[in-house]
Structure 1
Amino acid sequence: MTEKPKGLTRRQLLVSSVTTLAAGAAATAQAATLTGTPKWLPFDHNGPMHYDTPGWQFFTAEEAQEIEAIVEQLIPADDLSVSGKEAGCAVFIDRQLAGEYGDFSRLYMQGPFTPGTEPQADQSPLVPRERYRLGIAGLSKYCQAQFQKPFSALPAEQRDKMLTDLEHGTVELEGIDAKLFFQQVLDNTMEGFFADPIYGGNRDMVSWKMIGFPGARYDYRDYIAMHNQKLNLTPISIIGSSAWNRKG
């Protein structure tokens, strides 16, 4: 009998690498089988939530409207891609907050909590769910006081100015540091734009097509020796839906 190899297999390593693109939410569906590639199965206890799960899982309708306005302003539509809203960045954020990422259950979150140095970065005791809930409420209250309307109702120029002020910390939000909230949303928006579509963002693999990333392919051996050539590979998502293949 042939002895089974010990340690991580190539397939296990691939699965582990892909899942680090974003923190997985609670499993409600398994990825489908891709034609010509091995079947990808999420960890039983931490599979990614399918992007087609209906409705908002964490945000209220009002909160979702504000977050969609923010991600649309951070990544506006242009001749290269659709906006962050159209790409599903708000859906990605919503799914992450509904899962283990939302309460930092995998991180050490015991005190003492003190302001960190620049290399230490974020040392806040607030978990992502609290940051979004407090941040959206604080932003809405500030915009109502200043402009008598929510952020989502502001014109593009005012939105830009508001986000710039948050980034630089020149405004004060009730309940949360403005810079902390801005950085949280910015980071998650970028993750949602470039992560695998199975997590809710990067709808239709728009960002991968924009940068020429071939996606979650299992094997690149046929292309290793093809230097300085445009491969024109259609991106492949873990989700494996035939809809993606039709659109690709």
Structure 2
Amino acid sequence: MKRRQILSSLGAAITAVPAAKLLANEMEGFPHDMALDQAFVPTPAKVGAPQVLTREIDRRTVSAAFDRLIPADEHGPSATQAGCVDFLDAQLAGTFGQGASLYRSGPKAPGEDALMQKPQFIATPRERYETGLRALEAYAQRTHKASFADLEPEAQDAILAGMDDGSVELAPEVNTRAFFELMLANVREGYFADPMYGGNKDMAGWKMIGFPGARYDYRLYADRTGEDLGLEPVSLIPKD
């Protein structure tokens, strides 16, 4: 698995612009009389004590996997350094982890996955991580006599690559390939989401690809495709 290969498709889709100071006139010309409904104000993720990934072995396992998917290099920090595990824990503790947006009523018909062309899950993302991380650790213990987090990077990469291509089956009760895809999607989200949600610490992901962040208005720059705009990334996190 090539380093940062997973970032190429996403990074290519976002216009790269280096960081600099915010232009003062960008803050003019917006309506001042709009009432702000507090129900729609984003709430910063709780970072610190784990809410879902409370078992040390689970946190070590997902940290090791995330850091192989997005390792540290000359372009930026690793997934864990950028807060992706904190992002995941916060998401699993909320509506995403509860599967609030998913239709989960059974029964699940035989062959339904093939019919729908992708796995259909009754289990919530939180439940899938609970079973998946335990199965990944058990597989490492069974095949390498060591915890996944303690394996050499090459061995970790081999397991993850096998999960990706279907040559590794963690356990009968786990859809291994779908679990890999879930981890891959979540580590990407954590690396590039607004820091409001616990990941992308210090906006490292945005700075790496030159994304200027959650600005109110881009009208000043709409016709300047491909230019060095010199914009400092801006987060949704309220400033005092």
Which of 83, 89, 95 is residue 88 of structure 1 equivalent to?
A: 83
- The answer to whether the 8 Å contact 2:104/2:121 transfers is no
Letter paired with 1:218? Y
Q: Kindly provide the CA deviation profile for residues 145-190 of structure 1, in whole angstroms up to 9, marking residues without a partner as x.
A: 1111111000110010010111122222233121121111111111
Within the alignment, does 1:223 sit opposite 2:221 as a pair? yes
Q: How much does 1:224 deviate?
A: 2.7
For normalisation by structure 2, the TM-score amounts to 0.78
- The answer to whether the 8 Å contact 2:47/2:86 transfers is no
- The answer to whether the 8 Å contact 1:42/1:48 transfers is no
| Aligned counterparts of 2:225 and 2:168: Cα–Cα separation in 1 | 50
Q: Which runs of 5+ in 1 are unaligned?
A: 1-35, 243-248
User: Aligned pair in 2 of structure 1 residues 227, 170: CA closer, same or farther (>3 Å)?
Assistant: closer
Q: How much does 1:50 deviate?
A: 2.3
- The answer to whether the 8 Å contact 2:192/2:199 transfers is yes
Q: How many residues align?
A: 207
Letter paired with 1:72? D
- The answer to whether the 8 Å contact 1:140/1:151 transfers is yes
Residue 157 of structure 1 aligns with which residue?
A: 154
Residue 139 of structure 1 aligns with which residue?
A: 136
Higher relative contact order, chain-length normalized (CA < 8 Å, sep 6+)? 2
Residue 166 of structure 2 aligns with which residue?
A: 169
Within the alignment, does 1:99 sit opposite 2:94 as a pair? yes
User: Aligned pair in 2 of structure 1 residues 82, 179: CA closer, same or farther (>3 Å)?
Assistant: same
Q: What is the SS of the residue equivalent to 2:68? A: helix
For normalisation by structure 1, the TM-score amounts to 0.75
Q: How much does 1:40 deviate?
A: 11
User: Aligned pair in 2 of structure 1 residues 41, 116: CA closer, same or farther (>3 Å)?
Assistant: farther
User: Aligned pair in 2 of structure 1 residues 116, 202: CA closer, same or farther (>3 Å)?
Assistant: same
User: Aligned pair in 2 of structure 1 residues 103, 205: CA closer, same or farther (>3 Å)?
Assistant: same
Residue 189 of structure 1 aligns with which residue?
A: 187
Letter paired with 1:54? G
Letter paired with 2:68? Q
- Over aligned residue pairs, what C-alpha RMSD do you find? 2.5
Q: What is the SS of the residue equivalent to 2:113? A: coil
| Aligned counterparts of 1:215 and 1:209: Cα–Cα separation in 2 | 9
| Aligned counterparts of 1:211 and 1:70: Cα–Cα separation in 2 | 22
Q: How much does 1:69 deviate?
A: 0.7
- The answer to whether the 8 Å contact 1:40/1:238 transfers is no
Q: Kindly provide the CA deviation profile for residues 192-241 of structure 1, in whole angstroms up to 9, marking residues without a partner as x.
A: 11111111111111111111111000011222343442101000000134
Q: What is the SS of the residue equivalent to 1:116? A: helix
Residue 118 of structure 2 aligns with which residue?
A: 121
Q: Which runs of 5+ in 2 are unaligned?
A: 1-26
Q: Kindly provide the CA deviation profile for residues 24-46 of structure 1, in whole angstroms up to 9, marking residues without a partner as x.
A: xxxxxxxxxxxx598997863x8
Which of 46, 57, 78 is residue 62 of structure 1 equivalent to?
A: 57
